[in-house]
Amino acid sequence: MSTALITRVLWTALGVFIAVRSRALGLGSFEEPGPGLLAFGLGIAMAAAAAADGIRLILRRKAGAGKTGVVGADASAPQAPMKLPIRQLAVVAVLLAYIALLEPAGFALGTFAFLLALLALLSPLSWPRAIAFAVLGSALNYAVFKYGLGVQLPVGLLG
Amino acid sequence: MDPLHGILLGLQVALQPVNLLYCFAGVFLGTLIGVLPGIGPATAIALLLPATTGVSPATGIILLAGIYYGSMYGGSTTSILINIPGEAASIVTCIDGHQMARAGRAGPALGIAAIGSFIAGTFGVVVLSVVAAPLARAALAFGPAEYFSLMVLGLVLVSCLSSGSLVNALLTTSLGIVIGLMGIDTMSGVPRFTFDRPQFIDGMDVITLIVGLFGVSEVLFNLEQGMGRSIIEGKIQRILPTREDWRLSGWPIVRGSALGFLLGLLPGGGGVIASFASYAVEKRLSRTPERFGAGAIEGVAGPESANNAAASAAFIPLLTLGIPPNVILGILLGALIVQGVAPGPLLIVNNPNLFWGVVASMYIGNIMLLVLNLPLIGIWVQLLRIPYGMLFPLILMFCVIGVYGTTGSVFFLYLMAGFGVLGYLLRRTGHDLAPLVLGFVLGPLLEVHLRRSLIAGEGDWSFFVTRPISAVCLALALVLAAAAAVPVLKRWRKTALVDD
């Protein structure tokens, strides 16, 4: 299944979910809308639009199988399967680990580890330079935000 | 209050040391953000949004507004020197600006971009000062039906003009509205889409959503674009344009300022459309259109003026009607709401210090920007050499500080990461994020005005078409939606017929 079609299936499911959840909130009447009416209408519209576009994609693919390159191209709908974004997944994993560590380890230690991990992942800096950058980055930002701007940041292990 | 007294009051506010400092910080950061490709003004404003909660509303908005119009100045630098637009409104500047740089004329290109931006930005602020108060007075006659219809028109325009397909825009706008409806319904007291989480009782946190969608997703999205770039090397010699450059650029700056201002007023308009329209106009009016694309200075002067005039004009619908015409001002509207300020026609009456202070700060900010962008251009060029690999970890760290600093909860950090991934996936699959954010900001207001209108009209939906302004807005929205939908339906029909 192409990325475009998977996207349409997900949008349809989301539209149905919104419609079902908002129906339970109470739709009221057209004269006096309840708390769920607008969201219900939007959920139905989302599901209908995504399903119709999904059907169009399937029809186009069928037609394309019979007559290669006949049917108009749609630049807005990517057809090639999306490559697994390894680098992005790694960055998100590091970010989630940082969030998990933030309160137990504290801002300074957590940020040091976070910056070092991302520098190792994304930048060509040598280890000594990366360590120096991470130490400076976490210490300076802690000082600026905690003492300069009065932002409440977790102290953690260093407290 | 007439504009002259308004400006005098505004200057009293804007010239306070703290406001001058925030104005400078805003335009400095705006230029920086404009210069660094990969980080747009929306991301920068989202990141700085938490920093405005501890200061007065006027000070906070002066900072954020400075980032917005400052980024319009800075965006041209990367377009000219490395052929990568610093922000979307400077895309068209790449065409002739970079060709000028390759021909050893980077200085005049940067110079005319800064001077044109200054003239157009100042022109925009002058018109804003004159027309905002009468417009706000006229808007006082607006009832809930007019607001509802105006918001529908705004959302339709933004959806039609978004960069993805119409279906994608419809989907993201709807999702944005639904996310905006989360929390306790103010009219019935029923909790909506809270998933039994106390964190959602007051609705989705604006800062978490915007920082995730723009800050985190911007980093993830830019990781795909590669980590390197090539800068035009060599010292930039002469910044000031020659007499011939002035002769060629004068009218393009005037036309760009006027055109940009008009297009900036439209919902969904803004700098991108204004700069492209200005480029098209200049090319058509030129006696030597073949020079365009090969380093014509008019191709830099016109678009750069247009996007700055549009940036000033965009404040008119926000400050007089409370309706943001583009995503960046949508975030500014969020900032006003976070500050407890009710945007709309009463803003000028109830918060004259805020309104006139922001307007006056824009005069001062434009002067600061001229100084920052002409003599200090060398510093910005050096900044282009900061590797992405060092920049992206810092942006993500600022995202975390911003959200944690305002919410004090790790829960919202996970939510921010989730919105970041959602934003990345949406952009990766051809969805524009602007309709989602505008839907989120306008959705709750849209619903309130819809329900108030029905109460006022005793449940009669014809109430919306019997009031002239409301009827015109809805008719325009219908025509626009139909104009955008017909080609899509034709394509669908073509697909089905081929299948048959």
Contact residues on chain B for A76, CB-CB shorter than 8 A: 164-165, 168, 430
pLDDT tens track for B81-101: 877 666 667 778 888 888 888
B36 pLDDT band (50/70/90 cuts)? confident
Residue at token pair 């069928």: A62
Virtual torsion, Cα B13, B16, B18, B19, nearest 10 deg:
40
* Token duo for residue A32: 């006096």
- Residue B402: which of B354, B336, B341, B335 has the closest Cα? B335
The span from the CA of A134 to the CA of A119, in Å, is 8
Binary contact (A119, B390; C-beta < 8 A): yes
Tell whether A104 lies on the interface with B, counting CB pairs under 8 A. no
The minimum CA-CA distance between B16 and chain A, rounded to whole Å, is 19
The span from the CA of B359 to the CA of B181, in Å, is 32
Q: Per this entry, what is the length of chain A? A: 159
Question: B443 with B119: CB under 8 angstroms?
Answer: no
R_g of chain B computed on alpha carbons = 22
Contact residues on chain A for B496, CB-CB shorter than 8 A: 56, 59
The pLDDT value given to residue B161: 67
Residue B230 has pLDDT above 70, yes or no: no
Predicted TM-score (pTM) of the model is: 0.78
Mean pLDDT in residue range B332-340: 82
Residue B371 has pLDDT above 80, yes or no: yes
The minimum CA-CA distance between A56 and chain B, rounded to whole Å, is 6
Binary contact (B498, A63; C-beta < 8 A): yes
Q: Point out which residues pair with B142 in neighbouring strands.
A: none
The span from the CA of B473 to the CA of B148, in Å, is 9
Q: How many CB atoms lie within 10 A of CB B494?
A: 15
Binary contact (B165, A35; C-beta < 8 A): no
Of B177, B185, B413, the CB nearest to A35: B185
* β-strands B191-192, B183-184 pairing: antiparallel
The pLDDT value given to residue B233: 57
The pLDDT value given to residue A151: 75
The pLDDT value given to residue B435: 84
pLDDT tens track for B340-370: 887 777 888 888 888 899 989 988 998 898 8
pLDDT tens track for B415-450: 999 999 999 999 889 888 878 888 888 888 889 889
3-state SS record for A85-109:
CHHHHHHHHHHHHHHHHHHHHCHHH
Mean pLDDT in residue range B255-264: 89
* Three-class DSSP category at B191: strand
Q: What is the pLDDT along chain A (159 residues), one digit of tens a residue?
A: 688 889 999 999 999 999 999 999 988 888 888 899 999 999 999 999 999 989 988 888 877 765 544 333 444 444 555 677 888 999 999 999 999 999 999 999 999 999 999 999 988 888 999 999 999 999 998 888 777 767 788 887 776
pLDDT tens track for A111-125: 999 999 999 998 888
Which one has a higher pLDDT value, B234 or A73?
B234
Mean pLDDT in residue range B380-397: 81
The pLDDT value given to residue B95: 85
Q: Point out which residues pair with B184 in neighbouring strands.
A: B191
* Three-class DSSP category at A33: strand
Of A25, A123, A141, the CB nearest to B401: A141
The span from the CA of B156 to the CA of B457, in Å, is 24
Residue B324 has pLDDT above 90, yes or no: no
The span from the CA of B436 to the CA of B475, in Å, is 23
The span from the CA of A97 to the CA of B216, in Å, is 15
Of B177, B224, B451, the CB nearest to A42: B177
B153 pLDDT band (50/70/90 cuts)? confident
The pLDDT value given to residue B231: 59
The span from the CA of B4 to the CA of B263, in Å, is 26
pLDDT tens track for B101-111: 888 888 889 88
The pLDDT value given to residue A80: 53
The span from the CA of B430 to the CA of B199, in Å, is 31
pLDDT tens track for B115-130: 998 899 889 888 888 8
Question: B80 with B97: CB under 8 angstroms?
Answer: yes
Which one has a higher pLDDT value, B157 or B213?
B213
Question: B38 with B218: CB under 8 angstroms?
Answer: yes
Residue B135 has pLDDT above 90, yes or no: no
Mean pLDDT in residue range B211-227: 81
The pLDDT value given to residue A69: 43
B140 pLDDT band (50/70/90 cuts)? confident
Question: B32 with B74: CB under 8 angstroms?
Answer: yes
Tell whether A44 lies on the interface with B, counting CB pairs under 8 A. no
The span from the CA of B23 to the CA of B272, in Å, is 24
Interface test with A, best of B63, B499, B500 (most A CBs within 10 A): B499
Q: What is the pLDDT of chain B when averaged over all its residues?
A: 84
The pLDDT value given to residue A100: 95
Question: B268 with B326: CB under 8 angstroms?
Answer: yes
Chain A 109-148, CB below 8 Å of chain B: which residues? 111, 114-115, 118-119, 122-125, 133, 137, 141, 145
Mean pLDDT in residue range B228-251: 76
Question: Which of A126-135, B315-324, B449-458 bottoms out in mean pLDDT, i.e. has the lowest?
Answer: B315-324
The minimum CA-CA distance between B67 and chain A, rounded to whole Å, is 19
Which of left, alpha, beta for B203 (phi over 0: left; psi -120 to 50: alpha)? left
Of B413, B450, B498, the CB nearest to A33: B450
Residue B73 has pLDDT above 50, yes or no: yes
ipTM: 0.88
The pLDDT value given to residue A62: 79
Question: B186 with A26: CB under 8 angstroms?
Answer: no
Residue B136 has pLDDT above 50, yes or no: yes
pLDDT tens track for B267-314: 665 677 788 888 888 988 888 888 888 889 999 999 999 988 988 888
The helix-helix angle for A37-66 and B166-180 (nearest 10°) equals 160
Q: Which are the contacts of B268, defined by CB distance < 8 A and separation ≥ 6?
A: B154, B157, B158, B159, B160, B161, B162, B325, B326
Of B164, B167, B451, the CB nearest to A33: B451
Q: Which are the contacts of B425, defined by CB distance < 8 A and separation ≥ 6?
A: none
The minimum CA-CA distance between B171 and chain A, rounded to whole Å, is 6
Q: How many CB atoms lie within 10 A of CB A10?
A: 14
Contact residues on chain B for A95, CB-CB shorter than 8 A: 216, 396, 400, 417, 420
Of B178, B408, B459, the CB nearest to A39: B178
Question: Which of A87-91, B402-406, B484-488 bottoms out in mean pLDDT, i.e. has the lowest?
Answer: B484-488
Give the DSSP per-residue string, B57-74.
HHHHHHHHHHHHHHHHHH
Mean pLDDT in residue range B148-176: 83
* Token duo for residue B59: 């000070």
The pLDDT value given to residue A76: 46
The pLDDT value given to residue B250: 92
Beta strands in chain A (DSSP E): none
The pLDDT value given to residue B238: 76
* Three-class DSSP category at B265: helix
Interface test with B, best of A95, A101, A121 (most B CBs within 10 A): A95
pLDDT tens track for B39-50: 677 777 877 777
Which one has a higher pLDDT value, B27 or B348?
B27
Give the DSSP per-residue string, B136-174.
HHHHTT--HHHHHHHHHHHHHHHHHHSSS-HHHHHHHHH
* Token duo for residue B106: 């980077």
Question: A30 with A23: CB under 8 angstroms?
Answer: no
